[in-house]
A and B are shown apart, each in its own frame.
Chain A
Amino acid sequence: MRKILLLIIVLITGLVFTGRLFYLQVYNTSFQARSESNAYKVMYDYPQRGYIFDRNQNLLVSNQPSYDVMVIPREVKDLDTLEFCNLLKIPKEKFKTILKKARVYSPRLPYTVVPQLTKEEYAYLSEKMRKYNGFYIRKQSLRDYQVDHSANVLGYIREVDERIVKKNPYYQNGENIGMQGIEKAYEEELRGVKGVKYIQKDRFNRDIGPYLEGSFDTLPQRGKDITLSIDASLQKYGEELFINKRGGIVAIEPKTGEILALITAPNYSPKLLVGRERSKNFSRMFYDSISRPLFDRGLSGEYPPGSPFKALTALIGLQENVVTAQEHIACHGSYNYGGRKPLGCHHHKSPLDLVGGIAQSCNTYFATVYRRAIEKYDTPQEGMNAWHDHLESFGLGMYSGHDMPSGRKGLVPDADYYNRYYRYPKYKWYATATISNSIGQGEVLMTPMQMANFTAAIANKGWYIKPHLIKHIDDQDTIPSEYTKKNYTTIQPEHFEPVIEGLFDVYNSGTAANLKVPGIEICGKTGTAENYTKINGVTTKLTDHSTFVAFAPKDDPKIAIAVFVENGYWGSRWAGKMASLMIEKYLKGTITRTDLESYVLNGNLEPEYAKPYSGIPFLINQ
């Protein structure tokens, strides 16, 4: 024992060290990461974000330099706080809090004191900055909006938060990311790829030169410019028409599926979300739960479509062979299907054929056709599903597949929906239970985008291309193939002829006869959608929504449009007028009917919107 004790201890020590070293170097890999995090820092070279153009190559968005006042707390020396605060125009208390936060964050690393100076402030401050040790001005690139419309289309960029950094390793704190609209949808194209430089650090976090002679460094790639299908002048005009009104317009070029205008109202200037006032402006709009300026009604507002839906009912009727274009159906002022209350209609001549039914928007006609189409099948369930499938082929009741990051599915009920609703088979339901669907009321919901899309499909006589905003991406010959592929509806092309005639007659002799545009053959359909809200828990009927869909010219459609005006009463009162002005603007470039134009421009529906919040009883549909 005496001879071997030390020997044994030496060997045991050897084993212990082997184990320890194995644990440190091989088993536990966290040390590699910790070494990386303290031995070199990664510096990024940010490329310019891509520009955004409209379809006529008008520049919508470019970049501007921005200047932030930064501080490195350790280096602050002999600071005259009061003088400096006056220079920066911020209160002393606020300045002290910022400085404290900066120190807590890191005494050695830069921290933003005042973000996004204006150019004037920068010019003024840059000379005086030298006097203040530890403070300097950092240059950054910000969005520069050339227009004050299209905010909903363009979206905005903002600094990434903790959640995004965790989810997507590309982003680091302090970097920007597109958050809405095109900025989000084409983030990867627009942002480019940042360049990376590895800088070796010493223990004081000072740079001591490039890591491994810069062999891992990469160069930044510039963001790609993007051309949108938006027509900036049409977009601007549409937003002007919507001043003091709420709703949305979607205009599509039927042949290509390109979105010509995507308007939501109320809107805001994209410039509000740049600069020092950004967060103030953003919270104001974000918390405005009444007019909801950040909510894109064109994409996400789900409304009952109202009478424009009758065109689809007619098409399904023809396709299901339950009605012919020539058949006349009588209307006696209402459609009585045995319910408690008959489905009302308005005064018009009777009986009417299909073209007349559409032109006069006869409820009875379409209720009859709808009921026949459902009852053609053995069970109402089968009939409902057949009806549902036809509508789905128009892109309804599902995401439109457009390239904007927001949107809703709308609702096209099928048999399952009503089985659940009526608790089938305990209770049975029949075509008459769902009769309101025939005229675009009932359960059917659509976004203005979907309304514009089915209008385009009618204009094309049976097919549509998924609506999209992208027209061209720099250095790329094509846009995604889903935006060039034709989607065919389940309706035979020949059935579209009488329906289009009917839509044409709406302008000739029907509900929009006073909205004719000289020299342009327009097909359209008015709509008046009933709607309800809850006031103090009581369901209250509000003034009807005014809707309108149209396409023009009749024989070679260049624009399909859906207009939706919240609580605008009947279809041709607001939506129809706006649609005809938009079509004239797009096809002719100038407006001849200036009386009509100024009527719409000056129209104000705000009093209407204030009614439900007034707390006093009010009248609707005045």
Chain B
Amino acid sequence: MSSITTSRFDWIIILLFLALVSIGWLNIYSASYVDNVESFFDFGNIYTKQLLFIVLSFLLIVFILAIDVKFYERFGSIIYIVSLVSLLGLFVFGKNVNGATSWYNFGAFGLQPSEFAKAATALAVAKYVSDIQTNMSLFKDQLRAFLIIALPALIIIPQPDPGSALIYAAFVFPLYREGMHYIYLLLGFFAAALFVGTLAIGVYWMVSLVLFIALILFIINRKKRPNKLKYLTIVLACLAFSFSVNYIFNNVFEQRHRDRFNIVLGKEVDAKGIGYNTNQSEIAIGSGGWFGKGWTEGTQTKGNFVPEQHTDYIFSTVGEEWGFLGSMLVVILFITLIIRILVLSERQKSQFARVYGYSVAAILFFHFFVNIGMVSGIFPTVGIPLPFFSYGGSGLWGFTILVFIFVRLDSGNYYYT
């Protein structure tokens, strides 16, 4: 192993990581402590367990940083395959927690392989894309890359854990960065817009809207003699998609999924029922004001009004107890971390490290975007954790591995020059 000095690690990322983990732990403490606790060192306490996870994650970091840079590129595929196997194994050995079979059980602790699969998939994608024979502008290679991404997602969906599977959509960003046609992004965007639009205003209004826009565009561009067949195809595709969304939403989705969308789209306001989580979370965040109620002083947090507050809804504690200023600090820390990783990725000499870095940034961003969007009530309820904040060993270690492999790759960047 080559001699590496610590000065080659990107200390900005490390400090941001430490800041997020410590603030996260403080909030888990506040969200889970009860007044009449016996002992801080009782491992029945959620916050004590999380502290142990954090300490163990430091060991993990040392381990990751000690391994040779080349290891990750060389063994990327193998790690990926191991990860797929561990996901498949859940169908046999998995333990059912909250209706999802996504855990291996080891006595008091459990492991959630889907949290580690993200890093493995990122390695595999980076390895495939950076392969000298791969050209991301070719459809054949795009298809293979999609396959690599879709495999773990397809295994995770029927567990069922559609939230975790959704994260794999983040990989379109590194692929786009590496030369994939922007039409995929646009397609994705339009599909999402049609999807939300159809649900929000109803299929018939949406169809009318699509036809109206098509007509306007056609009239505007008629001097350029547009291809009528192409036009018709696109319009028909849009209409078909709109109708199928309507069909899928009403016939394939389960009621709880429908409810989540309806709440965010403002179609159903039911504070005590299905919209309870989001509503309570908004109340908790909103009651924080400028400066918050102070650490462990949150009345909503203390009264356990927000369900799952130490896991997916941990940001509502931040909002209530640290106020607008504290929430902004957390948002800024996350954005700085993501941007720092993006900027460093662009600086990488090796394409592998760049694709990997982009994947890390995109995954972190998706988690950040979906989670805070959900907790603050502008995104449907999708159960995914906030990186470094939410309670859970697997999640924390998954993100630690994800980020610190990049830190290791980045330090290698200098090594090779």
Interface set of A (CB-CB < 8 Å, partner B): 1-3, 5-7, 9-11, 13-14, 16-18, 20-22, 24-26, 28, 30-32, 34-36, 38-40, 200-203, 208-209, 211-212
Contact = CB atoms under 8 A, between A and B. Distances in A.
B388 interface: no
Interface stretch (B12-20, B296-304, B401-409): B296-304
Contact of A7 (B176, B339, B369, B376): B339
Interface in B339-367: 339, 342, 346, 358, 361-362, 365
A26 B324 contact: yes
B331 A18 contact: yes
B387 to A, nearest CB: 14
B376 A17 contact: yes
A249 to B, nearest CB: 59
A25 B290 contact: yes
A498 B252 CA distance: 105
Interface size class of B (residues with CB under 8 A): 35 or more
Interface of B: 35, 173, 176-177, 179, 182, 185, 280, 282-290, 297, 299-300, 302-305, 319-320, 323-324, 327-328, 331-332, 335, 338-339, 342, 346, 358, 361-362, 365, 368-369, 372-373, 376-378
Contacts of A34: 283, 286-287
Q: Is the interface of A mostly helix, strand, loop or mixed?
A: helix
A39 B288 contact: no
B362 A25 contact: no
A9 B339 CA distance: 11
B69 to A, nearest CB: 24
B168 to A, nearest CB: 16
Of the candidates A21, A32, A39, the one having the most CB atoms from chain B within 10 angstroms of its own CB is A21
Given A6-B365, A7-B342, A25-B327, A39 B299 contact: yes
Q: Is the interface of B mostly helix, strand, loop or mixed?
A: helix
Contacts of A35: 283-284, 286-287, 299-300, 320
> Lowest 4 CB-CB distances: which A-B pairs, in order?
A31-B286, A35-B287, A39-B299, A25-B324
B376 A20 contact: yes
16 contacts: A2-B179, A5-B176, A6-B342, A7-B342, A10-B339, A13-B365, A14-B332, A17-B376, A18-B331, A25-B288, A30-B286, A31-B283, A34-B283, A40-B303, A200-B302, A209-B35
A35 B177 CA distance: 45
A21 B176 contact: no
A220 to B, nearest CB: 25
B299 A25 contact: no
A39 B285 contact: no
A33 to B, nearest CB: 9
Contacts of B369: 13
Contact of A6 (B173, B280, B288, B305): B173
B177 A24 contact: no
A211 B289 CA distance: 19
Nearest to B177: A2
Given A3-B177, A14-B332, A20-B376, A208 B303 contact: yes
Contacts of B339: 7, 10-11
Contacts of B289: 25-26, 32
Given A25-B288, A26-B324, A31-B285, A10 B338 contact: yes
Nearest to B325: A25
A477 B320 CA distance: 50
Nearest to A30: B286
A1 B181 CA distance: 12
B365 A21 contact: no
